Amino acid sequence: MSPDSMSVALTTFEKLEILRAELKEREQEIQKVERDLNAALRSLATYRYLKSIAPYYANKPAPPEATAVPELEKRRQSLVQVVQAIRAEMPALESAAVRGQAPPRAEAPRGRFKF
pTM over 0.85: no
Percent of the chain with pLDDT strictly greater than 90: 60
Give the closest residue to 12 by CA, choosing from 67, 76, 65, 90: 90
Instruction: Name the more confident of 95 and 84.
Output: 84
Q: Residue 44: CA atoms inside 13 Å, Cβ hemisphere, count? A: 12
Q: Which residues of 60-70 are buried (b: 16+ CB within 10 A; e: fewer)?
A: eeeeebbebbe
Question: Residue 102's pLDDT is what?
Answer: 52
Q: Where are the domains of the chain?
A: 10-99
**pLDDT tens track for 51-71:** 999 999 988 888 888 889 999
Band (109; pLDDT cuts 50, 70, 90): very low
Give the 3-state secondary structure of residue 37.
helix
Percent of the chain with pLDDT strictly greater than 70: 83
- Average pLDDT value over all residues in the chain: 86
